[in-house]
Amino acid sequence: MSSEDEPVKTICPYCGVGCGLKLEPGEEPGSVNFKPWFDAPVNEGALCIKGSSAVQHVDHEDRLTEPLIKEDGEFREATWEEALDRVVEGLMEVREEYGPDATGFFASSQVMNEENYLMQKLARRYGTNNVDNCTRLCHASTVAALRDSLGAGAMTNSMADLRDSADAYWIQGANPAEQHVIGHSKYFKQAANDGTTVVQVDPHENKTSEVADIHLQVKPGTDIPILNVVLETILEEELYDEEFIAERTKGFESLEAELADFDAEEAAETAGVDLEKIREAARAFAEAGNGAIFTGMGMSQKTCGTDNVQNLINLALVTGNIGKPGTGVNPLRGQNNVQGTSDVGALPNVLPGYLEVEDPEDRAQVEDVWGFEVPPENGLTSLEVTDAAGEEVQGLYVMGENPVLSEPNSNEVEANLKELQFMVAQDIFMTETAKLADVVLPATSWVERGGTVTNTDRRVQRMRPAVDVPGNTRHDFDIVSEIGTRMFGEGFDYDGPEAVFEELREVASIYGGITYDRIGDEGIQWPCETTEEEGTQYLHKEEFPTEDGLGKIRGVSHQPPAEVEDEEYPLVLTTGRIEEHYNTGEMSRRSENLMRKTDHNFIHVHPADAEARGIEDGDVVELRTRRGEIDVTAVVTEETKQGVVWTTPHFADSQTNRVTNDAVDPVAKIPEFKVAAATISVDVAE
Ligand code: SF4
């Protein structure tokens, strides 16, 4: 704690850009003021509306301040002693009765690397690899494709080199102007202003469209056909990089085979975009010089999400746009520590540093440090855990996640979680998920604790506490450490977060050369394997970290979404986030500034679709899919394509995920949030 003199330097808790800011205690007890941190490495003092409002929820009256135990369906306050006893008893009873694989552990991209490292270690010591985090819901497919074809599941380049060295941007399924606001304003928009050509592929017109030279307004679920037109154009017109393909890649022939009998006109029609406009975009990217690709959840959250991202990798590899500044395949990560949460092994198939669970040599590396055996089989994903809750899964430990709002088909998620034998939730607010728990543990917020987080361009940065721990709350670090120690006696008692980070360095080579001292104020970008290295601004300079050092090209075919429109559900529902809110809204809905801007959910409806249904701007409409219905306010606008309705996931009282589809990508098991067959009608109940 440092509440005395100088404001502390820390990192914004919202998106993955990783903006720095300074904090100092406010006048009211528990309140905090922020100040610009003008030398912060990523943002140089700039903050977006979320970052500049991020202190508003920390002393909100809804903060949990005491441990709670549920008795006869009601919560009562409990001591920490009682609550921790109950947690250990509940989880150990499930283990004894059903075995360790009957419990799931949810880590969180809202907490530090050290805390997530402890959570995944606890799961494995308990005897299961059933540990996951919300990357399952956002970029699991991106990470799977990048790891498989390029050898590393992260942004290949950095915001700085993408600003300084790119001649063209290909932005597909991402909206950085609203979701990565400072990344956009300080880096990408500046590049666009300086002449970088911007191609945007997105079904929805948004603020990123304002800087786009070409906007391909694609129908949701048709990213592969549109990219295949692009790739076919590049091959037909010999715009590819022959030397790069020959020296640094394999699999080009699979792409040629895929496109041999390709019908570009049919593909353009499927995508709902003019063929010549797609070809124009292909030329603009391939002929520009350095071309950088950005990908977001519009690509990843599909049943073909892994193949979607593979097709972007194909585009980068055939044009030789990888391994140098201003190029690469760059997923923009949504949460402040979603990259780090995966880096430290909070996933069912990988250990810290992306060592493989099912590889005996990889397991041995961590077992040597941990002193216990890691289960040899991959665990369940978070969706598989909630799907099996009440049946094969009987126990759940949720740290800083809210699956009842964040997972698709959430009516079913909620019903399943009610059937668990035992559940513990650890959070700063009473979330919809915490309401279902047997024990609720009150955790500290981002202004009260310290550790490290890893941003979207792999920069490991320090977060530092500005104020004392409020009420009877505890740090996630201390809670998980205490539960581990009570359960297993040893292996979880650390002398603070830095001691955990030192252990992480031992097992995760990509973090091997990073120390708290070396991170300083600037941060270090992984991989950084020794303390002699400075970190890595862009990946894959000489070769790819794959088995043969080559990048993999793999042709992919169109796969229709799991649900397509029909007579009963004639519209395509897709979703996206808005600038002033964040994921399930637990933090942003408790901020006055952000709620002043938007305090309720809404749905964009094309004027032709509205007219056909007698819907007027501002009407409350019922949005219905095969999984349920919600009421939501209609905004009639041409920002969405005819036949497509677009809404947001941020609001608890108009909960979009009650209607989204839980069909998953077969490789990454990420759900298809972005496409569902739907219908809307004026809400007659109003
Ligand atoms: Fe925070 Fe992201 Fe906004 Fe930066 S861009 S202030 S990290 S929400």
pLDDT tens readout for residues 143-178: 999 999 999 888 999 999 999 999 999 999 999 999
With a cut of 60, say whether residue 463 has pLDDT above it. yes
CA–centroid distance for 158 within its chain: 18
Q: According to CATH, what is the number of the domain 571-682?
A: 2.40.40.20
Separation between Cα atoms, residue 467 and residue 488, nearest integer Å? 32
> CATH topology of 142-331 equal to that of 571-682?
no
Residue bearing the bigger pLDDT, 297 or 615? 615
For ligand 1, the distance from its centroid to the CA atom of residue 339, given in whole angstroms, is 15
Per-domain boundaries in the chain: 8-52, 68-137+336-495, 142-331, 571-682
With a cut of 50, say whether residue 217 has pLDDT above it. yes
The type of residue at 452 is T
CB 559 within 8 A of CB 304: yes
Tell which one of 15, 178, 457 to mutate to probe ligand 1, the residue whose CB is within 8 A of the most ligand atoms: 15
pLDDT tens readout for residues 632-664: 999 999 999 999 999 998 887 888 999 999 999
Tell which one of 9, 11, 14 to mutate to probe ligand 1, the residue whose CB is within 8 A of the most ligand atoms: 14
The pLDDT confidence band at residue 3, using thresholds 50, 70 and 90, is very low
Q: In this predicted structure, what is the pLDDT of residue 542?
A: 94
For ligand 1, the distance from its centroid to the CA atom of residue 15, given in whole angstroms, is 5
> Each residue of 407-416: b (16+ CB within 10 Å) or e?
bbbbebbbeb
Bridge partners of 604?
A: 635, 646
For ligand 1, the distance from its centroid to the CA atom of residue 176, given in whole angstroms, is 11
The type of residue at 549 is G
Q: According to CATH, what is the number of the domain 68-137+336-495?
A: 3.40.50.740
Q: What pTM did the predictor assign?
A: 0.94
pLDDT, average across residues 332-340: 86
Separation between Cα atoms, residue 445 and residue 430, nearest integer Å? 13
Phi first, then psi: give them for residue 221, nearest 5 degrees: 90, 10
Nearest CA to ligand 1 atom 4: 19
With a cut of 70, say whether residue 5 has pLDDT above it. no
Tell which one of 181, 189, 580, 587 to mutate to probe ligand 1, the residue whose CB is within 8 A of the most ligand atoms: 181
Please state the atom number of ligand 1 nearest to the C-alpha of residue 13: 1
Asked: is 142-331 a CATH 3.40.228.10 domain? The reply is yes
Please state the atom number of ligand 1 nearest to the C-alpha of residue 46: 6
For ligand 1, the distance from its centroid to the CA atom of residue 50, given in whole angstroms, is 6
Q: What CATH fold (topology level) applies to the domain 8-52?
A: N-terminal domain of TfIIb (2.20.25)
The pLDDT confidence band at residue 4, using thresholds 50, 70 and 90, is low
Nearest CA to ligand 1 atom 6: 51
Tell which one of 17, 338, 593 to mutate to probe ligand 1, the residue whose CB is within 8 A of the most ligand atoms: 17
Please state the atom number of ligand 1 nearest to the C-alpha of residue 52: 6
What is the number of other CB atoms lying within 10 angstroms of the CB of residue 241? Answer: 17
DSSP annotation string for 584-639: T-TTGGG-HHHHHH--S-EEEE-HHHHHHHT--TT-EEEEEETTEEEEEEEEE-TT
User: Which of 423, 398, 492, 401 lies closest to 122, judged by CA?
Assistant: 492
**Residues lining ligand 1, CB < 6 A?**
12, 14-15, 17-19, 43, 47-48, 50-51, 180-182
For ligand 1, the distance from its centroid to the CA atom of residue 579, given in whole angstroms, is 10
For ligand 1, the distance from its centroid to the CA atom of residue 183, given in whole angstroms, is 8
